Chains A and B, each alone.
Chain A
């Protein structure tokens, strides 16, 4: 009977994988577009970031692709710098959340029940707070800067990662191959490195990719509230906020950073979705 089920799964797999592949390609293209903007911005910008020679609130033209803002700065230049900041915050905070979260999650999964209980309770409390509120607390203590935005978002997200890691690790630890590994004398760090981490990595990786999108949005929100990277760093969130007053007369100023934000977040989420099949060898190698 299970052979029949397996056959059905195999029959369904190619179609689904085909769908996943196009999702992945679309996601990579959208993300790649933003990454390209950020890389180019390191080498070349249409105008210096503080150049105000363009005239105020000009409409898009050949000289200014997306027009200018109310101070006369080139909007496309600002957008390119914003891409840099968005990616930096995304990578930085996800890296921080991954390291801290996986560490705490593994400790909770292996610890004695009372340690696990108190860690889990703490995590639940942290998770109960909105990411933005926690981030604002950190910014209040640290002062508004790019680094405190990364620290704030990374810390807030590490609680989510820790809880996921704990659950996933617990489940793997109950598998018989863990007992089997122990019957041949594997130490606990061998169990973690060779058995637990590889087995939770696919799910964790997909989740971290999703967290990346959330981090980019959180940074934009912080900047919108004036708690992110201070000027002259042109975060997309701050561009949105600055364009708010003139949205009726010069809508491009608000639309452009909004579209950039959606492109990156959507792209990363598609990548996360498409990645699922490719990072799990048991699915990748079937057939």
Chain B
């Protein structure tokens, strides 16, 4: 049985359809990338998977998360799944962390709630969670989010998302808001943590290079539909959908621009 089984998921805001009949599955330990342009319904899909759509949006179809039907389920039934089964890492860590709560407390809350840790055991768990995301200095636990750099914040957000030891990590464009050099650090960190903990990963991005680095299988979304899915090799090797082909072509153009000396760079820009 899959950890996450999405079939015929449709999300609409009034008459506007944001996600249109999308189906895909993620097994335990599998890494799946969801790629698409802005507004293609990637983020809405990630929220629908955990039943956290805004009130104005309505979802139909089927989302089985660890065997529980998410669509139409009351919060009470979904709460035990949020954290231990699926954790979400958001794009912009500054808005995803409570500005007035110390970092250590934000990491501690899911542990207290789902793992039942208290007192020194909880403190130790928070410390080791921060060490896991390469924030070894114990002072980080007492800091407020605005006192940290963008990369440090995303590390904290990662620690929060992983605090309850989820079996599936949903990363919603986790590096889009970061500097390129910091992006690489975060991707390396996520790569390591996902392998170490044998988690499944749903990696959402608009960047084909990043997605093919992080995942084994790709779902391509456009205008709310899943237009193509396959292994990274299939998608990059022989894209069927014109949008996928365009993505691959632009990635190749960038690659060759980077390989070619000096003058090649401007060509790469032009073809994008």
Contacts and interface: CB of A to CB of B under 8 A. Distances in A.
Interface stretch (B64-72, B82-90, B213-221): B82-90
Interface in A189-216: 190, 194-195, 198-199
Contact of A184 (B101, B144, B147, B160): B160
B110 A185 contact: yes
B96 A177 contact: yes
A179 B47 contact: yes
Contacts of A179: 47, 52, 90, 96
Nearest to A283: B146
Contacts of B147: 285
A180 B101 contact: no
Nearest to A172: B98
Contacts of B264: none
Interface in B57-98: 79-84, 86-88, 90, 92, 95-98
A234 to B, nearest CB: 43
Interface residues of B, number: 33
B148 to A, nearest CB: 12
Most buried by B among A180, A182, A194, A282: A180
A175 B95 contact: yes
Contact of B96 (A176, A195, A285): A176
B30 interface: no
B150 to A, nearest CB: 11
Interface in B232-259: none
Contacts of A194: 98, 101, 109
A145 to B, nearest CB: 41
Given A179-B47, A282-B100, A286-B146, A184 B52 contact: no
B192 interface: no
Interface string A32-64: 000000000000000000000000000000000
Nearest to B97: A177
A122 interface: no
Given A180-B90, A182-B82, A282-B144, A198 B52 contact: no
Contact of A177 (B50, B52, B95): B95
B95 to A, nearest CB: 4
B264 to A, nearest CB: 29
A199 B88 contact: no
B100 A180 contact: no
B109 A281 contact: no
A176 B90 contact: yes
Given A281-B144, A282-B144, A198 B100 contact: yes
A187 interface: yes
21 contacts: A175-B95, A176-B90, A176-B92, A176-B95, A179-B47, A179-B96, A180-B90, A181-B109, A183-B87, A183-B88, A184-B109, A185-B82, A185-B113, A186-B109, A186-B113, A190-B109, A194-B101, A198-B101, A282-B99, A282-B146, A285-B147
Given A194-B98, A199-B98, 8 more contacts: A182-B52, A183-B50, A184-B87, A184-B161, A185-B80, A186-B113, A195-B101, A286-B146
